[in-house]
Amino acid sequence: MLQPVSTGHKSLADYTHLAGRPLIQEIRDLSEDLSGLRVLHLSATAFGGGVAEILYTLVPLMNDVGLEAEWQVMLGREEFYNTTKRLHNALQGNPDSPTDEEWKIYERYNALNATEISGEWDVIIVHDPQPAAIKRHVPNKASTWVWRCHIDLSTPNPEAIARMVPFIREYDASVWHVEQYVPQELRPVVAGSNPGSDGSLDGVHIIQPAIDPLSPKNMALSPEDAAFVCDQFGIDVDRPLMCQVSRFDPWKDPIGVIDAYRHVTQEMSEVQLALVGSMATDDPEGWEYFNSTMAYADGDPDIHILNNLNNVGAIEVNAFQSQADVVIQKSRREGFGLTVSEALWKARPFIGGDVGGIPLQVQDGKTGFLVSSPEECADRSLRILREPDLGKRLGRSGKEHVRRHFLTPRLLRDWLRIFTEHR
């Protein structure tokens, strides 16, 4: 049932001019002692979200430095994805937790996928809740098991987290974006414990994700190319553009973005809005929320709502972000939010929700703005639109912040450190 994902080839050397020679050399030094390490990544989907985008770069770079890394995705039917979407929402705070019957569905599909793991691995990295129960069925398939959490668990539904904690406890290590996401039940109780250099604390590691600056979504586009692409989708490139790139999901709050846009257009009627997202195979609610967002836009010709089925791919997302006068990620919950770093990397003025991993990337007033309401989002948008020099300053600071902290080579280095610690 597990489906292998082909990731192609990437060379770490190509990132030297962006990441700097000291970091590249540190990666080379760490990888010498890990040569031949067999690493398997397991996730729920091969496209449509940040996990997939990370792995399309991280896996080939692991291979480039001498590891033997593979990526496989679990397969399931609609009943499984309906269950895991409810679980995902509950873990991020929704009061609606999976039923006992849904938990049986969850465990059954994990057990079925577990039987499909072939070969022997030194490390198996399981990404997010969907495949988290696989380990208990085949614990001997790897010497070390690591669970990687990509979502915001700061205020989980108590019932859902109580059912998840026993699965996570069985892992040798876990990796989180920020310490606040680690459930109290999983925090070490050893008095006087001190975090390691990467934030680790007795098997708990705090590591942020990263973007690939050389991918089609993040590589440099000329202003002319960006404008040409946007023009193909009906954007008037001579008028200001607000843009949010994210899944169509209530946690991403596209409705709130439309509200902010409407506040802005009361004072600047020429402004346009683009809501750009992808529909993922493990997100059955996506179409429902896409349709409700369309209905809320109420036919406004200056609100452009697009997804990957409108031929919006990586280059198109790049163009929308590069062309936008204001890029927004107005999340109400956010594990990290790779679209934040993507926008900052393009030196665009950015506004984000003051939640989850967004404040790690946005220093309010310096690399962008943090907001907590549509009204605040509109206010900051108007400031940026009226003060071009402010937008340029925020954009330059944001790009440098991402270069120093949120590019893939740094993430690769952090994983090599974890492998070294848990060998």
Q: Do domains 3-210+407-421 and 223-405 have the same CATH topology?
A: yes
Strand partners, 273: 242, 303
199 in helix, strand or coil? coil
Nearest to residue 402, comparing CAs of 119, 208, 197?
208
Q: What are 119-178's pLDDT values in tens digits? A: 899 999 999 999 999 999 999 999 999 999 999 999 999 999 999 999 999 999 999 999
Q: Tell me the CATH class for 223-405.
A: alpha beta
Strand partners, 72: 4, 42
pLDDT band for position 202 (50/70/90)?
A: low
Q: What are 373-417's pLDDT values in tens digits? A: 999 999 999 999 999 999 999 999 999 999 999 999 999 999 999
Q: What is the CA radius of gyration of the chain?
A: 21
Residue 278: pLDDT over 80: no
What is d(CA 280, CA 290) in angstroms, rounded to the nearest whole number?
A: 12
pLDDT of residue 280: 63
Weakest mean pLDDT among 177-186, 215-224, 316-325:
177-186
What fold characterizes domain 3-210+407-421?
Rossmann fold (3.40.50)
47 in helix, strand or coil? coil
pLDDT of residue 285: 74
Residue 255: pLDDT over 80: yes
Output the CA angle 94-371-221, nearest 5 degrees: 100
pLDDT band for position 284 (50/70/90)?
A: low
Q: What are 41-57's pLDDT values in tens digits? A: 999 988 767 899 999 99
Domain ranges of the chain: 3-210+407-421, 223-405
pLDDT of residue 288: 84
What is d(CA 254, CA 261) in angstroms, rounded to the nearest whole number?
A: 10
CA 314 centroid distance within chain? 15
pLDDT of residue 190: 35
